[in-house]
């Protein structure tokens, strides 16, 4: 996980710095970046100017990094321009540099933020096959919506990657929700949060039992973690809570 600080430099400078950092991560099987790290989450006035087509510099750079490292690279998310609309788009690249998974953030944030004003919400929950299991993604604010997460599991997800720009003011919510979603959905959760002014850091990896396998601090940098993806199958077999779900019920409001 690469915890990026998006303050104090131009976008080209940041791209160059992060690219050099990622290229130095030889030996990694998976590299994960945070949400909107290139333009900077809070740089709302720069979203339109910094928006890219899908095959723009973000995906192009990530293709190159993945091929050079021979690793899976989740580029975090970028502001995508498509047919005149802007999306908060996250992408996973295979070690061959091929696009394996694309997720457009479904719950765009409106509380003291212009994201919901500027960006169009996505409407799909894809799941992708990888060499280490079935992978899905959500982005930041999506953590607060358990029905979305249950949809990922219904789609076969075993691993969930969560790029984020979660604020420091609600850091404990970030820690709570990343642990909660990992346990309730019995997934291996990899959450990469941004660092810097107003942002909370504390990127973390949580297994299906709620064990925190790695957690960063508040500074920018790289956090390494060795994980066994088979922990998901073992947890679901030993404690089959998902199999005990009741899906045959219809709940109605009380009469008043």
Query: Which phi-psi region, left, alpha or beta, contains residue 84 (left: φ > 0; alpha: ψ -120 to 50)?
Result: left
On the question of pLDDT at 122 being above 90, the answer is yes
Question: Of 80, 140, 185, 192, which one is the catalytic site residue?
Answer: 140
Establish whether 192 is a catalytic residue. no
Average pLDDT over residues 123-145: 98
pLDDT given at position 8: 84
Strands 85-93 and 99-104: antiparallel
pLDDT band at 250 (very low <50, low <70, confident <90, very high): confident
pLDDT given at position 251: 80
Site of tokens 């979603």:
181
Mapped onto helix, strand or coil, the DSSP state of residue 78 is: strand
pLDDT band at 254 (very low <50, low <70, confident <90, very high): low
The pTM of this model reads 0.96
Question: Of 35, 52, 80, 185, which one is the catalytic site residue?
Answer: 35
Helices (H), 70-198: 115-118, 146-154, 171-185
- Summary count for the chain: helices (H), strands (E): 7, 12
Establish whether 96 is a catalytic residue. no
Establish whether 140 is a catalytic residue. yes
Average pLDDT over residues 160-183: 98
Site of tokens 């790289």:
222
Question: Of 105, 115, 185, 192, which one is the catalytic site residue?
Answer: 105
Torsion angles phi and psi, residue 63, rounded to 5: -60, -45
Q: Which residues pair with 63 in a beta bridge?
A: none
Strands 188-193 and 159-164: parallel
Strands 72-82 and 30-32: parallel
Tokens linked to 211 = 């064990």
- 193: part of which helix (H) or strand (E)? strand 188-193
Tokens linked to 148 = 């979305």
Mean pLDDT of the chain: 96
Looking from the CA of 64 toward its CB, the CA atoms found within 13 Å total 15
- pLDDT tens-digit map of 178-207: 999 999 999 999 999 999 989 999 999 999
Q: How far apart are CA 152 and CA 128, in angstroms?
A: 11
């Amino acid at each position: 996980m690469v915890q990026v600080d998006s303050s104090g430099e131009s976008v080209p400078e940041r791209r160059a710095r992060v690219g050099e950092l990622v290229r130095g991560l030889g030996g990694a099987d998976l590299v994960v970046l945070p949400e909107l790290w290139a333009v900077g989450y809070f740089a709302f006035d720069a979203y339109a100017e910094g928006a890219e087509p899908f095959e723009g510099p973000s995906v192009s750079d990530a293709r190159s990094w993945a091929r050079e490292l021979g690793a899976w690279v989740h580029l975090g998310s970028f502001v995508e321009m498509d047919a005149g609309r802007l999306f908060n788009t996250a992408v996973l690249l295979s070690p061959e540099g091929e696009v394996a998974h694309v997720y457009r953030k479904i719950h765009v944030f409106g509380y003291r933020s212009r994201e919901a004003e500027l960006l169009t919400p996505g409407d799909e929950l894809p799941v992708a096959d990888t060499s280490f299991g079935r992978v899905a993604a959500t982005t930041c604010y999506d953590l607060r919506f358990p029905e979305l997460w249950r949809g990922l599991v219904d789609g076969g997800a075993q691993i969930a990657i969560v790029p984020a720009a979660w604020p420091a003011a609600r850091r404990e919510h970030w820690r709570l929700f990343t642990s909660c979603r990992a346990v309730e959905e019995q997934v291996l959760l990899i959450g990469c949060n941004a660092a810097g002014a107003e942002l909370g850091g504390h990127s973390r990896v949580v297994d299906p039992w709620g064990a925190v396998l790695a957690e960063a601090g508040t500074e920018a940098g790289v956090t390494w973690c060795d994980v066994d993806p088979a922990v998901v199958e073992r947890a679901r077999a030993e404690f089959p809570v998902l199999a005990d779900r009741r899906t045959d019920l219809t709940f109605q409001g009380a009469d008043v």
